[in-house]
Amino acid sequence: MPDIKRIKEEGKYLLECINKTMDRVNWEFFIELANILPRIKRTFVTGAGRSGLVARSFGMRLMHAGLPAYIPGETITPAAQKGDLLVALSCTGQTGYTAYIAKRARELGAMVVIITAEPESTLTEVSDKTLIIPIEESNIVLKAAVFEHTVSLCLDALFNVLSRKLKIDLDEFRMRHANLE
């Protein structure tokens, strides 16, 4: 049974990996994405597993900013078309569901943005823009955790910049926040 000291050490190591990765992230990509999002017709966000949870969280943030955001596969998601944007997240860049959605969005004329840790992958082949999250860790479990936490923090940082750019105040956020909970 692990003790508290060991769990705390693992947590500190994970945080060190995340910090090291964030220092190496191409922040220009997020500035470019922050500039694209308000001009795009609709944004679709996707990913599978924990990457999918990060994608959904980002979609929620876009909704809070008053931007039309949708999750592929949900019953109220409209048809994608030219002028739309798909943001797809996958640590490995090989996730079948995510790759299918990205390919389909591309076929329909949507711009496809991929965030992955793998430069040579199925997803990078169909993207208009790709951000590689530069993770040094090779253990796939730790690598995936670093990917998800790093991407989540980067997308939240993007949202903070975007909300200032759009001049959204706290009352507007409150009006858009879920209230049937």
First to last CA, the chain: 37
Calculate the alpha carbon distances from 123 to 14, 69, 117 in Å. 26, 21, 11
Locus of tokens 């500190």: 12
Residue 36: is it exposed, middle or buried by C-beta count within 10 angstroms (0-12/13-18/19+)?
middle
- Residue 122 · residue 93 · CB < 8 Å: yes
Contact, 128 vs 99, CB < 8 A? no
Catalytic residue set: 148
Percentage helix, strand, coil, to 5, in the chain? 55, 15, 35
Secondary structure (DSSP) of 5-63 = HHHHHHHHHHHHHHHHHHHHS-HHHHHHHHHHGGGSS-EEEEESHHHHHHHHHHHHHHH
